Amino acid sequence: MTRLFHSFSKATVVSVFMIIALPVGAYDLKDEADLVEEDIRYVHYDISGVTLAEIEVSLNTLGPTDMDGTRRWSDTEIAVNANSCERVRFEAKVTLPRLDSIWRRKLSLEDRLVYERMHTALLNHEMRHVDAARQHTEVMKVLGCKDIPRKLLDQFETEAAQINERSDHGRRNGVNLDPNWAGPLGDLPRDDDLITEDVVYHSYKVGCRNLTDVLIGMRQDGPHGYWGYTRARTFKKKASCHMRLLAEITLPELSETAQNKFSRVERLEFLRMYTALHSHELRHVDTSRRVAEQQALLACPVLEHPLFQYIKQVDERLDKRSKNGRMQGLRLDVEVSDTWRSWWQRLVGM
């Protein structure tokens, strides 16, 4: 749910105050190049359980409620206050679940990896909402807070609902505790009066004996020196400002040898990493989609428009702020392989 309040004076926007009741954002770094001031606070509620089923009951019972009284696993309240165009302040209160180490130690290794994958997806999904609030606020700053079209303000409120709808509140991309979940499905494509989009996935094979091989393969064969990469392009139809977005996402895929050889624990750790990587790339797609929509709403401005100078830096700043996704759980724990093999050796007496 999103509530948007506006206060106008004459021809200039002097105060914009937004409250967003959404699930949680992630731990991004502060960027010195940010156009608006930021203050993000994190609040945790404690959950418990020695199985995934017990943890889910705890989340459903103790999680924060949104504005219509529905219980959620996490929540983010965002306020943007622009009392003048010289100073725009961006504040967020983020509520997250916390599973104490006492309970974590009681989980099986498989259940712990499933929980961590869910938590990673939860953080990344809600970071997409925070990204939307930040980028819309920065665009208002870039445009000088003068004569901001109402449709741009409405876009922000609409986008929050669209992100949830296209991702099923993040469930399509990992916000679940299903131990047999196969992997991210991606968002449902968007096709409306403003944008038509196509998101195409490419893969490169990694892994042979263990997760160390996966890590080496991603470092050596990853696109442009990264584990994952998104290339997004926008096209304008000749007779209108309807935009087409074409996004190509390249991600690692376990080789057939690795799929047959890896233990369940190793496959779960790869899936946890893959979920974080996929979620990070979706944030880049969001950025391009948002830019395309803003161009359409502004009636396809000329290249000299301030919007284009701003959007050139958005993706670079996203990677800098998130450390290319590492701040939101993008890592690969290669020691999981050794932990599992050591446990198996003890079990069979080797």
Residue 193 belongs to some domain of the structure: yes
Strand partners, 191: 196
If you search the block for the tokens 């409120």, which residue do you land on? 157
pLDDT at 69: 85
Residue 350 belongs to a domain: no
Strand order in the sheet with 87-99: 2-9, 12-22, 75-84, 87-99, 37-47
Contact (Cβ atoms closer than 8 angstroms) between residue 92 and residue 25? yes
**C-alpha to C-alpha distance for 316 and 34, rounded to whole angstroms:** 12
The pLDDT of residue 303 is: 60
The answer as to whether 309 is a domain residue is: yes
Structure tokens at 282: 């979706």
Does residue 101 form part of some domain? yes
Tokens 């050591």, residue located: 342
Q: Which residue has the tokens 């974590």?
A: 104
Residue-level pLDDT at 84: 64
* CB-count burial class (<10 Å; 0-12, 13-18, 19+) for 24: buried
Collect all residues with Cβ–Cβ distance below 8 Å to 236 and sequence separation of at least 6: 242, 243, 244, 295, 300
Q: Identify the three-state secondary structure at position 83.
A: strand
Q: What is the pLDDT of residue 18?
A: 31
Is the separation of the CB atoms in 39 and 29 below 8 Å? no
**Positions of the chain with pLDDT lower than 50, given as ranges:** 1-26, 340-350
Contacts of 241 (CB under 8 A, 6+ apart): 295, 296, 299, 300
- In sequence order, what E strands does 172-287 have? 195-206, 229-236, 243-254
Long-range contacts for 324-327 (Cβ within 8 Å, ≥24 apart)? 324/226, 324/280, 325/276, 325/277, 325/279, 325/280, 327/26, 327/27, 327/28, 327/29
Quote the tokens at residue 112.
């712990």
Q: Is residue 170 part of a domain?
A: yes
| Alpha-helical segments (H) within 101-149 | 101-106, 109-142
**How many distinct structural domains can be found in the chain?**
1
What is the structure's pLDDT at 14?
A: 27
List, in sequence order, every residue forming a beta bridge with 3; answer none if it has no partner.
19
Q: Say if residues 330 and 324 touch (Cβ distance below 8 Å).
A: yes
**Residue 306 within a domain:** yes
Category of 306 on φ-ψ map: left (φ > 0), alpha (ψ -120 to 50) or beta: alpha
For 91, the token pair is 């504040």
Inside any domain, residue 261: yes
Which two tokens mark 175? 């916000």
Looking at residue 86, what is its pLDDT? 67
Residue 217, both tokens:
């393969």
How far lies 306's CA from each of 16, 217, 287, in Å? 21, 41, 17
Range of the domain at 322: 2-345
User: How many residues can be counted in the chain?
Assistant: 350
Distance between alpha carbon 350 and the CA centroid of its chain, in Å?
43
Tokens of 189: 């494509």
Taking the C-alpha atoms of residue 107 and residue 119, their distance in angstroms, rounded to an integer, is: 15
pLDDT value, residue 255: 96
| Amino acid identity, position 91 | E
Enumerate residues 6+ apart whose C-beta is below 8 A from 1.
Answer: 21, 22, 66, 67, 68
* pLDDT 10s digits, 100-123: 999 999 999 999 999 999 999 999
pTM of structure: 0.85
- Would 34 be classed as within a structural domain? yes
